[in-house]
């Protein structure tokens, strides 16, 4: 949202006595999230074309800059600041040049993006999870402000991690009022020596999460005492402990700590996990504090009557009522909707469930990899650390986390309950144990025209093949698209069979993939 358009939008809101928006970034994000497309359409949003989606037949451009030039010819808006630079010094000079003009641009930016210009090289470099290896953001320093620390609280996370949080005298940072800032962990508080009463520099890192950068020591009043971490969990009283040489202290009350339980339910219900719409933070507090829910499986035993009883108690001042739920007759509609949302989440997928369980260090992408590799929850739950490490993205630490999670008796009970209460997901065969290409190691190189590299990889894997990134004597065959480079040379020098795209497609078709 251009700054001028944002100002006009806020002028209008002010004239109508409505709430104004904090900054163009929030205004743009809020506009896109509007449920009513007519409202979204009325917002002064703008865009620059900068990339392609799917193109059939294959796109013709060899260089990213040629593509942008053609976009311009077609009449699409393209960022006039985009430029080509060769070498690190030239990139940094570009970064400095744009940084110097940052405030003069008609829109807000938080940095520049460097991209590899050669499109074949972009394909060759590919992606790690969702992050391209051929593009990188170089952010400008975040906007900083000073304020006073009024208190330091300790928050308990889903895995029991203790995070000290500075409660701040409210201050505007980059257009947003900041009242809390993370201090990350005990080590960080010590290193920065942040004390209650200190004046501190607050930054919104990446212009999003506020953090305390440093103490303004020359403004420290006399008599401030250094911060001490508590020795027991502020929520459940369990002792805190540190694992190995980790910086974070954790509550040892796993399974009994209400703070950990609330966080794990919040994670379980979140959009990318089980996606239970309408289960907000305040209700999670009430469900746990008032004893309706001990763990995630209890969500699936809740009834409309339970929710209405909880709501009545909340109306009477027991627990909290979120602003979005009003008193009286709308309550039954709310309860029905929430029960329906919980019910919808019963039909799920293995990757979602694995992610939702909240196993430490198992994010969405690792969960997907595990699901595909093992095919079934029980196979993952009973796998040894060594077995687990045969899955993509799983190293010794993640493997030990998964083993620890599934050997805790409490977790197995929860999973059994989830099943008993109607959670359902599709399971399949483990990748490595089936398929006509079992035991074959395949390397893909060059660009394919009929399918993407990822599609080719996925189809080969469903046939049992292992797709590797480098050619060695163990490689069974190499698939070479156009512009294949050193991997093809290596394959030829090792006399490894090479398939072209047509041969690959024939092979896939032969096995029904
Ligand atoms: Zn605790």
Asked whether residue 114 carries a pLDDT value surpassing 80, the answer given is: yes
Using DSSP bridges, classify how beta strands 441-445 and 477-480 pair: parallel, antiparallel or unpaired: parallel
What mean pLDDT value characterizes the chain? 88
| In a shared domain, residues 335 and 355 | no
| In a shared domain, residues 356 and 425 | yes
Q: How far is the CA of 261 from the centre of ligand 1 (A)?
A: 9
Q: How far is the CA of 252 from the centre of ligand 1 (A)?
A: 7
Q: Is residue 54 part of a domain?
A: no
Final residue of a structural domain among 431, 458, 486: 431
**The pLDDT of residue 465:** 84
Q: For position 456, which CATH number holds?
A: 3.40.50.10190
Q: How far is the CA of 500 from the centre of ligand 1 (A)?
A: 58
Asked whether residue 290 carries a pLDDT value surpassing 70, the answer given is: yes
Q: Is residue 58 part of a domain?
A: no
Q: How far is the CA of 307 from the centre of ligand 1 (A)?
A: 26
Average pLDDT value for residue range 8-27? 82
Rounded CA-CA distance 445/448 in Å is 9
Rounded CA-CA distance 174/25 in Å is 10
Q: How far is the CA of 257 from the centre of ligand 1 (A)?
A: 4
| Adjacent-strand bridge partners of 444 | 479
Asked whether residue 344 carries a pLDDT value surpassing 80, the answer given is: yes
Q: How far is the CA of 402 from the centre of ligand 1 (A)?
A: 21
Q: How far is the CA of 491 from the centre of ligand 1 (A)?
A: 56
**The pLDDT of residue 246:** 80
Q: Is residue 118 part of a domain?
A: yes
| In a shared domain, residues 418 and 442 | no
Q: Is residue 115 part of a domain?
A: yes
Query: pLDDT tens digits, residue range 446-461?
Result: 888 888 888 888 788 7
Q: How far is the CA of 169 from the centre of ligand 1 (A)?
A: 28
Q: How far is the CA of 292 from the centre of ligand 1 (A)?
A: 19
Max CA distance (Å), the chain:
80
Final residue of a structural domain among 107, 139, 171: 139
Name the least confident of 45-49, 91-95, 432-436.
432-436
SS3 at position 100: helix
Question: Confidence band (pLDDT; 50, 70, 90) for 222?
Answer: very high
Asked whether residue 424 carries a pLDDT value surpassing 90, the answer given is: yes
The encoded tokens of residue 433 equal: 């144990």
Q: How far is the CA of 161 from the centre of ligand 1 (A)?
A: 9
| In a shared domain, residues 445 and 425 | no
Q: How far is the CA of 304 from the centre of ligand 1 (A)?
A: 30
Name the least confident of 15-29, 320-334, 405-419.
320-334
Question: Confidence band (pLDDT; 50, 70, 90) for 17?
Answer: confident
Question: Confidence band (pLDDT; 50, 70, 90) for 324?
Answer: low
Q: Regarding predicted confidence, which is higher, 323 or 183?
A: 183
Asked whether residue 326 carries a pLDDT value surpassing 70, the answer given is: no
Q: How far is the CA of 265 from the centre of ligand 1 (A)?
A: 15
**The pLDDT of residue 461:** 78
| In a shared domain, residues 499 and 408 | no
| In a shared domain, residues 163 and 229 | yes
Question: Tokens 């409202």 identify what position?
Answer: 39
Q: How far is the CA of 493 from the centre of ligand 1 (A)?
A: 60
Rounded CA-CA distance 110/94 in Å is 14
Asked whether residue 140 carries a pLDDT value surpassing 60, the answer given is: yes
Q: For position 367, which CATH number holds?
A: 1.10.150.20
Q: Is residue 49 part of a domain?
A: no
- Give the structural domain span for 461: 436-510
Total domain count for the chain? 6
Q: How far is the CA of 162 from the centre of ligand 1 (A)?
A: 9
Using DSSP bridges, classify how beta strands 477-480 and 498-499 pair: parallel, antiparallel or unpaired: parallel
Q: What are phi and psi of 167, to 5 degrees?
A: -90, 125
Q: How far is the CA of 412 from the centre of ligand 1 (A)?
A: 21
**The pLDDT of residue 145:** 86
SS3 at position 418: helix
Average pLDDT value for residue range 70-88? 95
DSSP per-residue string spanning 271-295: TTTT--TT--HHHHHHHHHTTS-SS
Q: Is residue 495 part of a domain?
A: yes
Rounded CA-CA distance 427/418 in Å is 15
**The pLDDT of residue 389:** 86
Final residue of a structural domain among 345, 374, 401: 345
Asked whether residue 233 carries a pLDDT value surpassing 60, the answer given is: yes
Which range is most confident: 18-22, 128-132, 176-180, 245-249?
Answer: 176-180
Alpha-carbon separation of residue 124 from 65, 292, 474, 503 (angstroms):
18, 53, 22, 20
383, 460 contact by CB (below 8 A): no
**The pLDDT of residue 207:** 54
Q: How far is the CA of 305 from the centre of ligand 1 (A)?
A: 30
Q: What are phi and psi of 352, to 5 degrees?
A: -60, -45
| In a shared domain, residues 409 and 470 | no
382, 405 contact by CB (below 8 A): no
Q: Regarding predicted confidence, which is higher, 377 or 332?
A: 377
Q: How far is the CA of 260 from the centre of ligand 1 (A)?
A: 6
**The pLDDT of residue 432:** 59
Rounded CA-CA distance 448/306 in Å is 56
Q: For position 206, which CATH number holds?
A: 2.40.50.140
Q: How far is the CA of 248 from the centre of ligand 1 (A)?
A: 14
Q: How far is the CA of 359 from the centre of ligand 1 (A)?
A: 17
402, 359 contact by CB (below 8 A): yes
Alpha-carbon separation of residue 433 from 125, 379, 383, 450 (angstroms):
30, 12, 14, 28
3-state secondary structure 9-59: HHHHHHHCCCCCCCCHHHHHHHHHCCCCHHHHHHCCCCCCCCCCCCCCCCC
Query: pLDDT tens digits, residue range 146-205?
Result: 899 999 999 998 888 999 999 999 998 877 889 999 898 888 888 889 999 999 989 876
| In a shared domain, residues 387 and 326 | no
Q: How far is the CA of 291 from the centre of ligand 1 (A)?
A: 16
Q: How far is the CA of 247 from the centre of ligand 1 (A)?
A: 18
Q: How far is the CA of 154 from the centre of ligand 1 (A)?
A: 11
SS3 at position 401: helix
CA-based nearest residue to 120, from 66, 75, 165, 166: 66
**The pLDDT of residue 58:** 79
| In a shared domain, residues 453 and 477 | yes
Q: Is residue 59 part of a domain?
A: no
The encoded tokens of residue 394 equal: 């799983």
Average pLDDT value for residue range 14-22? 79
Alpha helices in 126-272 (DSSP H): 186-192, 258-269
Query: pLDDT tens digits, residue range 479-497?
Result: 998 888 888 888 888 889 9
**The pLDDT of residue 281:** 86
Q: How far is the CA of 235 from the centre of ligand 1 (A)?
A: 5
Q: How far is the CA of 400 from the centre of ligand 1 (A)?
A: 22
Question: Tokens 């909340």 identify what position?
Answer: 314
Question: Confidence band (pLDDT; 50, 70, 90) for 386?
Answer: confident
Q: Is residue 172 part of a domain?
A: yes
| In a shared domain, residues 247 and 172 | yes
| In a shared domain, residues 158 and 238 | yes
| In a shared domain, residues 426 and 443 | no
């Amino acid at each position: 949202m251009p700054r001028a358009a944002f100002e006009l939008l806020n002028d209008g809101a002010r004239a109508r006595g409505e709430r104004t928006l904090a900054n163009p970034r929030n205004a743009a994000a809020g506009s896109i999230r509007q449920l009513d497309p007519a409202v979204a359409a009325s917002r002064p949003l703008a865009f620059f074309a900068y990339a392609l989606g799917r193109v059939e037949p294959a796109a013709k451009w060899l260089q990213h800059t040629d593509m942008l030039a053609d976009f311009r010819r077609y009449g699409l808006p393209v960022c006039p600041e985009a430029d080509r630079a060769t070498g690190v010094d030239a990139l940094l000079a570009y970064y400095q040049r744009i940084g110097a003009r940052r405030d003069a641009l008609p829109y807000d930016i938080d940095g520049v993006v460097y991209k590899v210009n050669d499109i074949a090289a972009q394909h060759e470099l590919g992606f790690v999870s969702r992050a391209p290896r051929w593009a990188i953001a170089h952010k400008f320093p975040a906007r900083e402000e000073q304020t006073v620390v009024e208190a330091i609280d300790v928050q308990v996370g889903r895995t029991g991690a203790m995070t000290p949080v500075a409660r701040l005298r409210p201050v505007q940072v980059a257009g947003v009022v900041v009242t809390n800032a993370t201090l990350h962990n005990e080590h960080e508080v010590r290193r920065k020596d942040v004390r209650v009463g200190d004046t501190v520099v607050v930054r919104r890192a990446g212009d999003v999460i506020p953090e305390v950068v440093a103490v303004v020591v020359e403004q420290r009043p006399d008599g401030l005492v250094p911060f001490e971490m508590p020795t027991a969990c502020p929520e459940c009283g369990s002792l805190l402990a540190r694992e190995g040489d980790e910086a974070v202290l954790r509550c040892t009350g796993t399974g009994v700590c209400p703070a950990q339980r609330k966080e794990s339910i919040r994670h379980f219900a979140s959009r990318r996990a089980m996606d239970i719409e309408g289960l907000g933070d305040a209700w999670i507090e009430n469900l746990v504090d008032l004893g309706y829910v001990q763990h995630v499986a209890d969500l699936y035993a809740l009834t409309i009557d339970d929710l209405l009883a909880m709501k009545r108690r909340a109306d009477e001042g027991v627990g909290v009522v979120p602003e979005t739920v009003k008193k009286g007759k709308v309550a039954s509609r709310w309860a029905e909707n929430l029960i329906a949302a919980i019910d919808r989440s019963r039909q799920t997928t293995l990757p979602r469930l694995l992610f939702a369980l909240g196993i430490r260090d198992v994010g969405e992408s690792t969960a997907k990899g595990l699901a595909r590799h093992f095919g079934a929850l029980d196979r993952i739950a009973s796998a040894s650390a060594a077995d687990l490490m045969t899955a993509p993205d799983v190293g010794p630490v993640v493997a030990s986390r998964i083993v620890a999670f599934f050997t805790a008796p409490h977790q197995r009970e929860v999973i059994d309950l989830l099943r008993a209460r109607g959670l359902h997901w599709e399971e399949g065969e483990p990748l490595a144990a089936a398929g006509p290409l079992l035991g074959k190691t395949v390397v893909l190189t060059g660009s394919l025209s009929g399918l993407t590299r990822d599609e080719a990889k996925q189809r080969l894997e469903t046939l049992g093949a292992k797709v590797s990134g480098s050619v060695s004597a163990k490689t069974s065959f190499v698939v070479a698209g156009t512009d294949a480079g050193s991997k093809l040379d290596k394959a030829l020098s090792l006399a490894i069979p090479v398939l072209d795209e047509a041969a690959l497609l024939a092979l896939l078709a032969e096995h029904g993939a």
